[in-house]
Amino acid sequence: MLRIENLSASYGEAQVLRDVSLQVSAGEVVTLVGRNGAGKSTLLRCVMGLHPGQRGTVELDGRDITRLPAHKRARLGLGWVPDDRGSYATLTVTENLTLPPTVGPDPWSLERVYAAFPALHTRRDSAATMLSGGEQQMLALARVLRMGARLLLCDEPTEGLSPLLVQQVGDLLREAKRHGVTVLLVEQNLHFATGVADRHYLLAEGRVAEAMDNSEVRSRERELLAYLGI
């Protein structure tokens, strides 16, 4: 579904990604793990079309989208859950949810979103930035589900969440996967990652250092945690 070939990107003089190539098949959940600054968020921004000055190729369903502007990529079914949660202060919770047009074959209705996230329903008329961090994370995830996005680009959706909410995020991602949604997930929590994902890429200094499956991550957990500095 998603194919990235020789992708390089830089911020000014600093090169963040070097010749990254990877693939995500339809219906797969794939994580990107790596230390802070390894280029994980930049990779997601490149796929979304928000990083100027990138080289290489990004393909979606066999179609070259490297030169496509971000809003057209979104309309092809990409749903971004940004690392800062992307809450709009000037929009209410409901407006945050309904801002993006529906883009996929199976968008969630607002009623379904509110049934799944009662906390969002209670605060539906509040400014989104007045929500707690966990609620904003739920809002970001609920928003791309309501879009009906086919490929979710989730940037650390469990960061700073309580164990209960982490579990809920896991349940949601597994449910989305059951409905055929593909997920590319930036994740530092290895336990969470092996619980939802099929495969993992380890990014180091802007390169794909290793590709691993769940059993490999589990057997090397201690070594990987030490490497990631957690």
Partner 1 sequence: MSGFAQNTFNGLVSGAFYALLALGLAVIFGMLRVVNFAHGAFYMLGAFGAYVLLTEAGVPFWAALVIMPVGLGLLGMALERAVIHRLTTLDPLYNFLLTFGLTLILQDLVKLRYGVQSSPYETPSLLSGSVDFGLFDFPTYRVFILGFTVLLCVAVWWVLTRTRIGMVVRASTERPDLTRAFGIDVGRWVTPVFGFGIGLAGLAGVLAAPMRAVNPLMGADLIIVVFAVVVIGGLGSIFGSVAAGFGIGLVQAWGEAYLSNFPLVSQTIVFVVMAGVLLWRPAGLFGREEAPA
Q: Which positions touch partner 1 (CB under 8 A)?
A: 48-50, 69-71, 73-75, 78, 80, 82, 84, 86, 88-91, 95, 98-101, 103, 143, 147
Distance CA 135, CA 85 (A): 10
Residue number with CB closer to partner 1 (125 or 223): 125
Q: Whose CA is closest to 140, among 161, 197, 18, 215?
A: 161
Strand partners, 203: 208
Q: What one-character DSSP code corresponds to residue 149? A: -
In the complex, the smallest distance separating the C-beta of residue 67 from partner 1, rounded to whole angstroms, is 15
Residue number with CB closer to partner 1 (124 or 220): 124
Residue number with CB closer to partner 1 (48 or 197): 48
Residue number with CB closer to partner 1 (21 or 129): 129
Tokens of 172: 């949601």
In the complex, the smallest distance separating the C-beta of residue 120 from partner 1, rounded to whole angstroms, is 17
Residue number with CB closer to partner 1 (50 or 119): 50
- Based on C-alpha coordinates, what's the Rg of the chain? 17
Cα distances (Å, whole numbers) of residue 164 to 134, 167, 168: 10, 5, 6
Q: What is the DSSP string of 25-75?
A: -TT-EEEEE--TTSSHHHHHHHHHT--SSEEEEEEETTEE-TTS-HHHHHH
